[in-house]
Structure 1
């Protein structure tokens, strides 16, 4: 028996040693990463919410305050020095203790997002200011050790998942490179003891806002720190979606590929499918989901895409002089994007103390009411043969949304699901009748109409198909205040 036991042990050890190590599915090269397939659950996702919130919310004055406060001659610098003092004595770091978040409640926020109709939600994990919003072991400059003394990323992860939504984190750290004038010894940003927040020393003029190609690129140390924080976020919180701001192309290509391979391989270990987004040229086409910023497509696309937009026309973070978009504009934007195979990630603007402005809450809840009534024409839908019709012309391009006019009743968008066609009129026709030109007699798409109804109304509607189009008589009363959904059998 002793010899048999030794023999079996030898066989077991030999077998174990001969086993090949587990080969990960994705390698850190674009060819391998293009094997990625967008999950079906993502194709069902149409609306998400995130929020810019951090020490930069404290001054509540202008967007990008943390950058412009250090620029000579800038009005924001003039305001800062008049309000808080010179930059040697009161720099950006001194806003951190003022970022108290005493009214922050992750569960209340997540419930609001759910009530707004969101399917995915989450925080900006780190903005261009270099302050981490999680309990990081890689930097002391984080929300668990300073400011609120809370792990915001974890609290939101737990609350969002409790509401049954997918969890997204957004990451902007690449913007930190030369965000602050670390070359300027007359400010606190030039003091090496604050390099953990303000970033490494860079020569004056290394990177300017708006330039397409920087005059200098981050070194391997900065690149590795960029990657290490992402890996820590993955290990700690297992996000379903990781979203990136633009200008990620300043990060070494090797590090971008290492991140993406690690994220996708981690997802395999977690036993779930994940989504990563990128701006044009920051990752290889087909390796992740394309994201636009304050803009949309003018035509339907064969691939799923995302656009991020803010509830405030002028700012991503809270400012006292906020200029809020109307609920009508927000819903029309969502409908148009969905009809073209896209999804919307809407940014909101909490105050530094953790309050969500009443104007923001009002709009979110109005969107939620509309989606509760009309969501079947949005959630889980797919594009139809054409995205729509009407006079509205969409201007494409980065930050182009302000160039697009308001929609009218004749602007109609189509979606489909489970054999149903939805025609969504973006306003109410003055005479109570809508002509859908796409569905005129002899059209190549559909000619057999059994019934036409409006979501939120009990009765079928009168309709007539002519050479001009499918003419639908609207009900006498509106079922809601915004876009109106016709369900066509």
Structure 2
């Protein structure tokens, strides 16, 4: 049975309330305002990790545990053909098969460091209810079953040893309904010995009970206390009305704990689950059309197929991911890029190569990314960026006329998103007839360690920069533009304040 009985839950809830009462924050929204941490606003790029029991079947997506119980889905048919009847072989039976025998957290952390990422966020618990960390609140966790290792704890130590910031994600809210398909036909979802894994399995349109919400709060606070993450990422279902007071209690607890520990922390949310200014807005697999005054984030995956490892997998190109990164950063955002390790704990070679390509590019062009802020306009070019979630595969490929601007230390950076086809780049936003840059240009450089000075001319309709032979033709190119009067950032601050 579930370790979180009524007495245990009540004791833990009382402890949460005592921490809040002793702190400087109440549970009212106006007392939960928080500034985005400097590590986040300056870091811009992080790694997300979807890895769990669902990596064993490696079919469809990380929603395999739900869909294998939904009659008529490909997962349902695949499961019966491959593993047998769901009453005989259910999702719980994948747990012993999830051995993670080749999981090396130090190697993972080295890969993430080479990618140029500044923060790392593994999924601590997905909708399936299997915790990837040691917990006293459920026997269904990676330290006691499957790998028999505290995956999140080991990864936290390895990531921090590389100088990266560590966060976690919680998708437990959706556990309320996740396995409800297994109630529509004979399956092990009704097995009395596994009810603590499969959970309520209630209808999606119902609101969670008080017991479920209290359980969610206690588990999430325990996760914070065990691993002291500097970022807690929440998936979409927390915007349900019943969660609202529990979100406020969690934020008050987490922010109070962070103040005790001297940490700069943040919470991610989607839609309108949190009030503006109390957490960081996140857009899943999508972007924004323009600059958002408040810092925000996109979470997306290296693949178009799934968040977790599946076979076959379809990966995005480094060119497209770097273009998305620069588009997001130019609009005051950060990119949380997901990978999906295999069940044995190895990261697919294709994903390692992709991350290393990104890292090599950032090693040269990071000056246009890290520590930057948006300019007066995010950019220019013919390729439209659709706004909103699940739009990451809807736009056309960026061209060499698609340019994004960032600024730092008085310099303006212009990054060409598409592969360069000619010998000259035209930046129309910087034409001398426009008021966006009302000062002469001192010099234009190619961003990088050697910083070669480039030939350019400024016409009324565009700044025209000659592309040197050493510039990349396959990945984005970043130019540093140094104005005579470095007043760019002051103008941007004024613009965003308005």
Correspondence 1:47 to 2:45: yes
2:496 aligns with none
Matches within 5 A, 1:114-125: 114-125=113-124
Compared CA separation, residues 429 and 235, structure 1 to 2 (3 A): closer
Correspondence 1:220 to 2:224: no
Q: Shift of the alpha carbon at 1:478?
A: 2.2
1:84 aligns with 83
Deviations 1:142-162 (A, max 9, x none): 000000000011001100100
Q: Shift of the alpha carbon at 1:311?
A: 0.7
1:15 aligns with none
2:326 aligns with 335
- Does the Cα contact within 8 Å between 2:178 and 2:201 map onto a contact in 1? no
Correspondence 1:109 to 2:100: no
- Does the Cα contact within 8 Å between 2:176 and 2:201 map onto a contact in 1? no
- Separation in structure 1 between the aligned mates of residue 414 and residue 145 of structure 2, nearest angstrom: 51
Q: Shift of the alpha carbon at 1:443?
A: 2.0
- Does the Cα contact within 8 Å between 2:49 and 2:339 map onto a contact in 1? yes
**With structure 2 as the length reference, what TM-score do the two structures score?**
0.90
- Does the Cα contact within 8 Å between 1:312 and 1:325 map onto a contact in 2? yes
Structure 2 counterpart SS, 1:273: coil
- Separation in structure 2 between the aligned mates of residue 98 and residue 441 of structure 1, nearest angstrom: 65
Unpaired segments ≥5 residues, structure 1: 1-20, 208-213
2:177 aligns with 178
1:59 aligns with 57
Deviations 1:81-132 (A, max 9, x none): 0100101110000011111100000000011001000000031000000000
- Separation in structure 2 between the aligned mates of residue 185 and residue 196 of structure 1, nearest angstrom: 19
Q: Which of residues 238, 244, 248 in structure 1 aligns to 2:238?
A: 248
Structure 1 counterpart SS, 2:376: coil
1:472 aligns with 465
1:448 aligns with 440
Deviations 1:326-346 (A, max 9, x none): 111111110110000000000
Structure 2 counterpart SS, 1:254: helix
Rg (Cα) greater in structure: 1
Matches within 5 A, 1:66-465: 66-181=65-180, 183-184=183-184, 186-200=186-200, 202=202, 206-207=203-204, 214=205, 216-250=206-240, 251-446=242-437, 447-456=439-448, 458-465=451-458
Structure 1 counterpart SS, 2:250: helix
- Separation in structure 1 between the aligned mates of residue 104 and residue 458 of structure 2, nearest angstrom: 53
- Does the Cα contact within 8 Å between 2:434 and 2:460 map onto a contact in 1? no
| Higher mean C-alpha deviation, range 133-142 or range 279-288 | 279-288
Deviations 1:385-413 (A, max 9, x none): 11111101111122111111110001010
- Does the Cα contact within 8 Å between 1:185 and 1:191 map onto a contact in 2? no
- Does the Cα contact within 8 Å between 1:240 and 1:273 map onto a contact in 2? yes
- Separation in structure 2 between the aligned mates of residue 409 and residue 143 of structure 1, nearest angstrom: 47
- Does the Cα contact within 8 Å between 2:175 and 2:200 map onto a contact in 1? no
Structure 1 counterpart SS, 2:167: strand
Q: Shift of the alpha carbon at 1:479?
A: 4.5
- Separation in structure 2 between the aligned mates of residue 54 and residue 174 of structure 1, nearest angstrom: 17
- Does the Cα contact within 8 Å between 1:122 and 1:160 map onto a contact in 2? no
Structure 2 counterpart SS, 1:383: strand
Structure 1 counterpart SS, 2:373: coil
Q: Shift of the alpha carbon at 1:458?
A: 4.6
- Does the Cα contact within 8 Å between 2:175 and 2:201 map onto a contact in 1? no
Q: Which of residues 467, 471, 476 in structure 2 aligns to 1:483?
A: 476
- Separation in structure 1 between the aligned mates of residue 273 and residue 21 of structure 2, nearest angstrom: 30
- Does the Cα contact within 8 Å between 1:275 and 1:289 map onto a contact in 2? yes
- Does the Cα contact within 8 Å between 1:455 and 1:479 map onto a contact in 2? no
Unpaired segments ≥5 residues, structure 2: 1-19, 483-498
Root-mean-square deviation (CA, aligned residues, Å) is 1.4
- Does the Cα contact within 8 Å between 2:142 and 2:149 map onto a contact in 1? yes
Q: Shift of the alpha carbon at 1:372?
A: 0.2
- Separation in structure 2 between the aligned mates of residue 66 and residue 298 of structure 1, nearest angstrom: 35
Count of aligned pairs between the two proteins: 458
- Does the Cα contact within 8 Å between 1:370 and 1:480 map onto a contact in 2? no
- Separation in structure 1 between the aligned mates of residue 147 and residue 201 of structure 2, nearest angstrom: 28
- Separation in structure 2 between the aligned mates of residue 322 and residue 330 of structure 1, nearest angstrom: 16
- Separation in structure 2 between the aligned mates of residue 23 and residue 349 of structure 1, nearest angstrom: 40
- Does the Cα contact within 8 Å between 1:122 and 1:157 map onto a contact in 2? no
- Does the Cα contact within 8 Å between 2:100 and 2:344 map onto a contact in 1? yes
Q: Shift of the alpha carbon at 1:185?
A: 6.4
Deviations 1:307-363 (A, max 9, x none): 100111010000011000011111111011000000000010100001110110010
